[in-house]
Structure 1
Amino acid sequence: MRVLINGLALWIASWVLPGITVESTAATEVAQGNSTAGVVLAFLFIGLIFGLVNAIVRPIVSFLSLPVTILTLGLFTIIINALMLMLTAWLSSYTPVNFVVDSFFWTAVLGSLIISLVSLIAGSITRTR
Structure 2
Amino acid sequence: MEFVIRLLIVGAAALLSSYILPGVHISGFLAAIILALVLAILNAIVKPILIILTIPVTILTLGLFLLVINAVIILLASSLVPGFTVDGFLWALLFSLVLSIITAILDMIF
The alignment's TM-score, normalised by the length of structure 2, stands at: 0.85
- Structure 2 partner of 1:14: 18
Unpaired stretches in structure 2, ≥5 consecutive residues: none
Query: In 1, distance between residues paired with 2:67 and 2:108?
Result: 20
| Match status 1:54 vs 2:43 | yes
| Match status 1:102 vs 2:91 | no
Unpaired stretches in structure 1, ≥5 consecutive residues: 24-38
Identity between Structure 1 and Structure 2 (%)? 42
Q: Shift in Å at residue 5 of structure 1?
A: 2.2
| Match status 1:123 vs 2:107 | yes
Q: Shift in Å at residue 123 of structure 1?
A: 3.4
- Which protein has the larger Cα radius of gyration, Structure 1 or Structure 2? 1
The alignment partner of 2:96 has SS state of helix
The alignment partner of 1:42 has SS state of helix
CA RMSD, 1 decimal: 1.5
The alignment's TM-score, normalised by the length of structure 1, stands at: 0.74
Q: Which runs of 4+ in 1 moved over 6 A?
A: none
- Structure 2 partner of 1:88: 77
- Structure 2 partner of 1:111: 95
Query: In 1, distance between residues paired with 2:83 and 2:41?
Result: 16
Higher helix share: 2
Query: In 2, distance between residues paired with 1:65 and 1:121?
Result: 30
